Each structure stands twice: as C-alpha cells, then as structure tokens.
Amino acid sequence: MIKVRNLTKYFDDKQVLNDINLDIRTGEVVAIIGPSGSGKSTLLRCLNLLEKPNSGTIEIKDVKLDTQKYKERDAYQLRQKTAMVFQHYNLFKNKTALKNVIEALLVSKKMKKEEAIQIGVDLLKRVGLEKQANQYPATLSGGQQQRVSIARALAVKPHAILFDEPTSALDPELVNEVLQVIRELAKEDTTMVIVTHEMQFAKEVADHVIFMADGHIIEQGTPEQVIEHSLNPRTQRFLRQMGDETDESARQKRK
C-alpha cells in the first residue's frame, strides 16, 4: 500500500536519505530503528511531504507521485493518506482534548458539529480518555496528551499512521500507557510506521523492522531477523548500545 522508490533527500549539500526503497502492506506494522541522525524522522516527513524529497517516487494507495515534478493537487491527496504522531504532541493549547481531536473534521472535512463530536467522543473512549474530553492539554499528563494526539490522528481515517518516537519525550512511567494504545491499534490491523527506540516494543508489535544508519536502509526483515539474530555488524553495534543505555537508565533508577 505504501511504495517508495529511490527516495533521496539533501539538506544543502548533505545527503540524509540515500536511495530509500520501501514496501509496506495494508495492516502491516513497520518499526524503523537506528541511531540518532540516521534520517528516520526525515524519511517519515518525506512520506507526507512535510519535507520535500530531492528525487524518487512515493505511492500510497491510489496516489502516485514523482517527487521531482508533481501537481499541488496530488501532494494534497498524498498528505490526506497519512496522519502523523510526533514526539512532542503538538496539541492546540487553547482547545480541549475533544476539540483537538475533531478540529480536522470540522475544518478540513467540513463535518457537522454533532457528527464530529460523536466521532471524537468514541475515539477518546478508544484511547481511554472519555473522562478527560473537556480538559485542556495543560491539565493532562504527557501520556494522556500523546493519547489525545493518537485519537486526533485516527479521526481523519488515514490509511497509515506515522509515529515519530511517540514515547521518547515521556517520563518512563507514562511510556506504557501510550505503547498499550499502539498495541491495540496493531491488533486492529491499523497500518503503522513507527520510529522507536523501544526495542522490546518493536520486537513485540512490528511485522517488519527497518534498521537505518547514515541515510541508508542497512537491513530489514522480521523482528527475529533484525533485532534478535542480526548478522550485520552495524546493527549489532547499535543494538548493543541500546542495550547498554537501557541497562544504564535501569541502574540510574535503582540508585
């Protein structure tokens, strides 16, 4: 359902994506892992043209676009196919949880207010926040705010949700409530691309894992292939570092 061919991206003369090829099937959960600065966020942002790629083609469902020459209408169509969940939840501070969730329905989809509210209430229920519908973001925990932003992403019925490190800004004790919502979505066959540092979570929820470094896809495969039994020295080194980090933070907490 998502097909990327020969995607490249430069910032000035620095190449940050190098000939990226990707195939994601409907209902599949893909985890992207890799060191900081390897181009993971840029790749997600290129998929919905938040960043303009330098070359390559992107196909999502019935929209196919050559990134070097496309009509604004096609770009618009492509953007409608995905919704993004960011590390920093980016909620409207002056709107309640419910208003945040239904904003796009009212503004872009021109839905009737009662209908949008019904959808918004159902979505908040799905992420366990029906009681918080009328609260403002400042009165919600980080985990709750992130769950609101997941409900907001679901509201527009995207073909895929793109998560960029959805839990890395959260206090450790709030991580699991967000991962749990994503696990539930995975069970319902929601197509998702998740950039994450949570290796255990990636192993458990992903159908397919992509390891990126220096703008390249170094290897990809099942979680078993990439996370448990990688033969690639680069992947092994990264996973070892991640393991050390986890051990280190666990040690810090015990202190």
Structure tokens at 22: 């990707």
Q: How many residues in the chain?
A: 255
In this complex, which beta carbon is closest to ligand ADP, that of residue 28 or of residue 165? 165
* CA nearest to 166, candidates 194, 191, 200: 194
Long-range contacts of 74-80 (CB under 8 A, 24+ apart): 75/49, 78/48, 78/49, 79/48, 79/49, 80/156, 80/158
Q: Taking CB within 5 to 8 Å according to partner kind, which of ligand ADP, Mg ion, none is near residue 243?
A: none
In this complex, which beta carbon is closest to ligand ADP, that of residue 190 or of residue 196? 196
In this complex, which beta carbon is closest to Mg ion, that of residue 55 or of residue 87? 87
CA-CA-CA-CA torsion sign (61, 24, 154, 92): negative
Structure tokens at 79: 């953007």
In this complex, which beta carbon is closest to ligand ADP, that of residue 10 or of residue 136? 10
Using CB under 6 A, list all residues that contact ligand ADP: 11, 16, 34, 36-42
Q: Minimum distance between the CB of residue 213 and ligand ADP, rounded to whole angstroms?
A: 9
Q: Minimum distance between the CB of residue 44 and Mg ion, rounded to whole angstroms?
A: 8
Q: Taking CB within 5 to 8 Å according to partner kind, which of Mg ion, ligand ADP, none is near residue 83?
A: none
Q: Minimum distance between the CB of residue 218 and ligand ADP, rounded to whole angstroms?
A: 12
Rounded to whole angstroms, the Cα distance separating 148 from 128 reads 9
Q: Taking CB within 5 to 8 Å according to partner kind, which of ligand ADP, Mg ion, none is near residue 147?
A: none
**Contact at 8 Å (CB) between 129 and 147?**
yes
In this complex, which beta carbon is closest to ligand ADP, that of residue 45 or of residue 152? 45
With left for phi above 0 and alpha for psi between -120 and 50, is residue 90 left, alpha or beta? left
Q: Minimum distance between the CB of residue 42 and ligand ADP, rounded to whole angstroms?
A: 3
Q: Minimum distance between the CB of residue 212 and ligand ADP, rounded to whole angstroms?
A: 7
